[in-house]
Amino acid sequence: MASGIFAILDDIAVLLDDVALMSKVAAKKTAGILGDDLAVNAEKASGFASAREIPVLWAITKGSFLNKLIILPLAFLLSAFLPAAVTVVLILGGLYLAFEGAEKIYEFFFPHAHSKESLVAEDITESEILAIEKERVKSAIVTDFILSVEIIIIALGSVVEQALLTQIIVVSLIAIVATVGVYGIVALIVRMDELGFKLIKYSKNKKSFSKWLGLLLVQALPKVIKSLTVIGTIALLLVSGGIFVHNIDFFHHYLPNIPSLINEFIVGLLVGFICLMIVMAFKKMWGLIKGNK
């Protein structure tokens, strides 16, 4: 009886060791896309009235958890009954990430106007504010769903050869940590300016450290979000390039004499711009077809 209990405890210890080791591997592989997830959500959660920032961010966070509750069982079913499909989904996701990264670079050089409703305008009613908030929360949750699929599939791809129980524990941990970590950091970022304004307001001396820090936080917020966007774009191309290099034999031997990081970035960039050109050509053809009707 005692030996049976010790055997069970030993099995649990081995399982926990495997989970800890594979969680580190999965975390490293998903770190790149988390940068983009952070940048996207910081941008979407900013621009609200100060009193509405946290409620809106909480609504998006709840949507993110719901997304993962939907995605996780589907991912585990694929891994259990059709493991080859995980690689296919991974490559399809890589195409999307490469396209998104290339689109961001293209838009930087050839920007087009975006209409973003202001939620702090004086002539906007409360019902209009709530309607705009609802639409933007919905848009953020849809974007989160796409990024969550990629995070979960990349994490699952790193442990697909492990036992199903190990896969479930590792990928679920990554999903939870990713959600809490990303939205926790986003909450800190979007409240930077609010903390800055409070430091400025309660500063008695014009040259005090608190006032200097407050001004720094207020001025830093847009720069932080912009820098996160740049970092996120690079991360998208690196993650997508890594997916192609490690899962497609042709890309694995492409440019063999250069460092793997540069190779992955180049592959991600090339594939991204090919996808972008195909999408732009399709949109142009669709526009011509609709115009002829």
Domain span at residue 176? 2-292
pLDDT surpassing 70 at residue 226: yes
What's the pLDDT tens digit per position in 141-150?
A: 887 887 788 7
Closest of 218, 243, 264, 212 to residue 150, by C-alpha = 243
Q: What is the pLDDT of residue 54?
A: 79
Higher-scoring residue by pLDDT: 105, 16: 105
Closest of 116, 124, 107 to residue 47, by C-alpha = 116
* 98-107, 143-152, 227-236 — most confident range: 98-107
**What is the pLDDT averaged over residues 102-119?**
71
**What is the pLDDT averaged over residues 114-142?**
67
Higher-scoring residue by pLDDT: 225, 92: 92
What rounded mean pLDDT belongs to the chain?
Answer: 77
Q: Which residues, including other chains, have CB under 8 Å from residue 228's CB and lie 6 or more apart? A: 35, 38, 39, 42, 43, 189
pLDDT surpassing 50 at residue 252: yes
- In the numeric block, which tokens belong to residue 237? 């191309």
What's the pLDDT tens digit per position in 18-30?
A: 555 556 556 566 6
Question: Band of the pLDDT at 17, cuts 50, 70, 90?
Answer: low
Q: What is the pLDDT of residue 271?
A: 93
- Phi-psi region at 64: left, alpha or beta (left = phi > 0; alpha = psi -120 to 50): alpha
Comparing 43-57, 84-98, 131-145, 231-245, which segment has the lowest mean pLDDT?
43-57
Question: How many folded domains does the chain comprise?
Answer: 1
- In the numeric block, which tokens belong to residue 64? 């993110």
Higher-scoring residue by pLDDT: 266, 246: 266
pTM: 0.70
